[in-house]
Amino acid sequence: MSADFRMFRFCLCLLFLPLAWSLPLAGWVESPGYPRGYEPFSTLTWARCAPPGHALTLALTHLDLEDGYECENDALKVYADGSLISTLCGRMSLEELRSSVNPSLLSSSGGCLNLSFSADYSNTERHTGFRGFYTIQDYDECDDPNIECSHFCLNFIGGYMCTCPPGYVLDADKHTCSVHCTEDLSGSRRGQVTPPGSPGPYAEDAHCSYSLSVEEGLQLVLEFTEEFDVEAKPSGECADAVKIKTPSQTLGPYCGRVPPSPIHTGSSQVQILFDSDNAGINMGFTVAYKTDRMTCPKELTTDSTLEPKRQQYWMGDTVTVTCDTGTVVDEVVGPGIKTNMTFESRCQLNGLWEPLYTCEKVRCEEPTLLYPLKIQEPLSTLYGSEIQFTCDSNYYKLDSDEVFTCKADGLWKSRTGQTKIPRCLPVCGQTHSQISSGRILGGMEAKLGQIPWQLLIKRPNRAGASLISDRWAITAAHVVDNVNKLMLYGGMVVGNINPVEMETDKIIIHPQYERNKGTGDDHRTSFDNDIALLKMSSRVKLNANLLPICLPEKGAALELKMGTVSGYGMTENKDMSGKLRYANIEEYKKEKCNETPDNEKGERLIFTENMFCAGWEGRDSCRFDSGGPLFVPMVGMGKAEDPYRLKGIVSWGSDCRQGDNKGYYTKVQKYLDWIRDTIAKEDGD
């Protein structure tokens, strides 16, 4: 025996000594009393484990146990890594054991096998038991379906490793092979790029980046030549992909068999990116690159046009950019104002336009909405958007129901060109209690909601007024002469039950009314122009019991055949009425009105064209009704198409208790221009 051979054996011994000394590599396991047979109540427990990178196998060579349903009598149970993998009983030949049982009696890498044998109390015949041979073997991880190497798997005693073909590198996960083909081609004005593996099918799991860079003033032009074959999915999406990336944009992904058209990148810096998955046998591509003079895009910004129009814009070209109608240049030219429609831009060395602005859509200001005006949702304020206004109350109606559109000048305009936002005007002359007329002096008590415009003034003197909008009321001038502020009460028919209180902001007496100079109204000779407007300090919240009355129509004949006068004044019993009363009266002819009474000084009072008189036998307005309404048609006769209108304001007359039943009223129709002009001036319309 030579010295070399002895050394080789020694090395092998040293190699296997740790394993041989830690546990036997193989051995037998058998039932108690084998092969003579096992006794009743015999048991056996056996366990062995394999070292890391190895597996433990068991091959049964003999099996003869008492048979029974689901092995309920005698049984051999085999566990792998703590889980039951087989329960055996009865007789089986060596061939049957080899084919159907032994292949499954295997632990995992570094795992364990356990046997548990038990017999019951008796057997009708003798059974020899079982015998098996166990071995510790190297575990072939490359056959394990749970271990995946993307390319090659090499097994060795105690472990395995994944390897890659030439040109690939193993990733950090130690299982995946990929191609990292990063190449810097800066400075090269002409050449071509192909994926790794060319010619022939390109590499799997490739992640390539080819960087191109030339001097400013030049752009890179790319053209796909020869065969183009990059894997695509049946859906048309790219499984593998080519992308072209510049500082300002990314083109692609490209795949399939149809190459992209030549690409003028408009940039002196380009990256050609290629990514492939782990499958496919496609042939790849060839992209040739070269340089050309720098160009700029044909479009600077959306919603615009360029002048002059050219097929190609070269470095140094200047254009005028005009924003489309309804858009403006995104450049603030004043405090929050964007009005520029055009700007000039020049094509730069880097292929970009400068300066570069965007054309933004004109945005109209959101309309200011005062209750109860509202806009039907959704609201958009961009150019071309439409809005429809509506009133959020049944007691108001729009003065115009037109649709408004946001125009190019940033204004909301209707189809007829109106820019004034519509208003919600109170519904006037309507009641929610249409009661048939009844028979103030000689009158009837009003019901709630029957005369909803009637207002009561308690101080400094008891009087009446009429609500004509949600912020304005009207009364007689002599009621508020030398008065700076008033409280009014409405929405009731009893003077102290649930009133709506209103405070005046301004009292405006007709400028041609003869003001009281301390002599008192009883010494007047004329009540001409006896009319005043009351502006409330805030808008009145309208309801069924508090609604305005309509003014007369300008120029329309408002003949008073029969109308209604109402108030909280004195009754025929000479008492102050705590309840709202009304009476239906008629207008007298001018001749009768000219028969005026005298004042307390015995001077005859003057009747003018700005007045009329009215009454009825046993019915009249009376003391403290001053400023209240006389309206047509009579109570209970008003309709939507024929609303109640204020014809007169209770002004003056002889003592109603004398029974002449004739009262004098300010003719409201004579003052329509003054009323409307005054309100418009005060409200800023």
DSSP string, 1-18: --HHHHHHHHHHHHHHHH
Question: 660-669 burial by CB neighbour count: b if 16+ within 10 A, else e?
Answer: ebbbbbbbbb
How many C-beta atoms surround the C-beta of residue 69 within 10 A? 7
Asked about 478 being catalytic, the answer comes back as yes
pLDDT score at 623 = 62
pLDDT band at residue 339, thresholds of 50, 70 and 90?
low
Separation CA 567–CA 451 (nearest Å): 10
Residues 220 and 284 in one domain: yes
Mean pLDDT, range 308-327, rounded to an integer: 92
Q: Which CATH number fits the domain that encloses residue 320?
A: 2.10.70.10
Mean pLDDT, range 4-27, rounded to an integer: 43
Active-site option among 150, 178, 268, 626: 626
Residue 4 counted as domain residue: no
Active-site option among 530, 577, 625, 654: 530
Known binding residue 159? Answer is yes
> pLDDT tens across 237-287, in order?
999 999 999 998 999 999 999 999 999 998 999 999 999 988 889 999 999
Residue 62 counted as domain residue: yes
Q: Nearest 5°: phi and psi at 677?
A: -65, -40
Residues 648, 527 contacting (CB under 8 angstroms): no
pLDDT score at 515 = 83
Known binding residue 496? Answer is no
Of the chain, the percentage scoring pLDDT greater than 90 comes to 54
Question: Residue 488 is inside which H or E element, if any?
Answer: strand 487-490
**Nearest CA among 359, 266, 251 for reference residue 313:** 266
Residue 435 counted as domain residue: no
Known binding residue 155? Answer is yes
Known binding residue 365? Answer is no
Three-class SS state of 94:
helix
Residues 197 and 311 in one domain: no
Q: Which residue has the tokens 């809005």?
A: 387
Residues 491, 448 contacting (CB under 8 angstroms): no
Residues 450 and 503 in one domain: yes
Residues 661, 679 contacting (CB under 8 angstroms): no
Residue 434 reports pLDDT greater than 60: no
Question: Residue 347 is inside which H or E element, if any?
Answer: strand 342-347
Question: 224-261 burial by CB neighbour count: b if 16+ within 10 A, else e?
Answer: bebebbbbbeeeeebbbbbbbbbeeeeeebbbeeebbe
Mean pLDDT, range 31-39, rounded to an integer: 93
pLDDT score at 522 = 66
**Nearest CA among 500, 549, 509 for reference residue 527:** 509
Asked about 93 being catalytic, the answer comes back as no
> pLDDT tens across 630-675, in order?
999 999 888 888 899 999 999 998 766 566 778 999 999 999 999 9
> pLDDT tens across 74-89, in order?
999 999 999 999 999 9
More confident residue, 620 or 380: 380
pLDDT score at 624 = 63
pLDDT band at residue 333, thresholds of 50, 70 and 90?
very low
pLDDT band at residue 555, thresholds of 50, 70 and 90?
confident
DSSP string, 348-369: -TTS-EES---EEEPBPPPPP-
Residue 191 counted as domain residue: yes
pLDDT score at 578 = 78
Known binding residue 30? Answer is no
Residues 119 and 147 in one domain: no
Residues 345 and 455 in one domain: no
Residue 57 counted as domain residue: yes
Residue 325 reports pLDDT greater than 60: yes
Residue 439 reports pLDDT greater than 70: no
Number of domains in the chain: 6
Domain region containing 343: 304-361
Residues 357 and 253 in one domain: no
pLDDT score at 123 = 80
CA contacts within 13 A on the Cβ side of 270? 29
Residues 407 and 523 in one domain: no
Residues 477, 465 contacting (CB under 8 angstroms): no
Residue 581 counted as domain residue: yes
Q: Which residue has the tokens 């009474």?
A: 597
Question: Residue 77 is inside which H or E element, if any?
Answer: strand 75-80
Residue 425 reports pLDDT greater than 70: yes
Residues 559 and 604 in one domain: yes
pLDDT score at 138 = 85
pLDDT score at 4 = 37
> pLDDT tens across 367-403, in order?
888 888 998 877 889 999 999 999 988 899 998 878 9
Q: Which residue has the tokens 């995104």?
A: 330
Residues 648, 468 contacting (CB under 8 angstroms): no
Asked about 626 being catalytic, the answer comes back as yes
Residues 434, 614 contacting (CB under 8 angstroms): no
Give the contacts of 408 (CB within 8 A, at least 6 positions apart): 325, 326, 362, 383
Residue 377 counted as domain residue: yes
Per-chain mean pLDDT for the chain: 86
Active-site option among 469, 478, 621, 654: 478
Q: Which CATH number fits the domain that encloses residue 98?
A: 2.60.120.290
Mean pLDDT, range 507-523, rounded to an integer: 81
Mean pLDDT, range 583-598, rounded to an integer: 89
Mean pLDDT, range 544-561, rounded to an integer: 83
Residues 549 and 611 in one domain: yes
Residues 193 and 147 in one domain: no
Tokens, residue 545:
């019991």
How many C-beta atoms surround the C-beta of residue 594 within 10 A? 11
User: Can you state the percent helix, strand and coil of the chain, rounding each to 5?
Assistant: 10, 40, 50
Known binding residue 144? Answer is no
Q: Which CATH number fits the domain that encloses residue 165?
A: 2.10.25.10
pLDDT score at 324 = 92
132-136, 142-146, 396-400: range with lowest mean pLDDT: 142-146
Number of H helices, E strands in the chain: 5, 48
**Nearest CA among 684, 664, 679 for reference residue 606:** 664
Residues 91 and 213 in one domain: no
Known binding residue 120? Answer is yes
Residues 514 and 649 in one domain: yes
Known binding residue 231? Answer is yes
Residues 670, 653 contacting (CB under 8 angstroms): no
Residue 150 counted as domain residue: yes
Residue 450 reports pLDDT greater than 70: yes
Known binding residue 141? Answer is yes
Separation CA 304–CA 323 (nearest Å): 4
**Nearest CA among 413, 649, 443, 664 for reference residue 551:** 649
More confident residue, 421 or 536: 536
DSSP string, 106-157: B--TT-EEEEEEE--S--SS---EEEEEEEEEE--GGG-TT---SSEEEEET
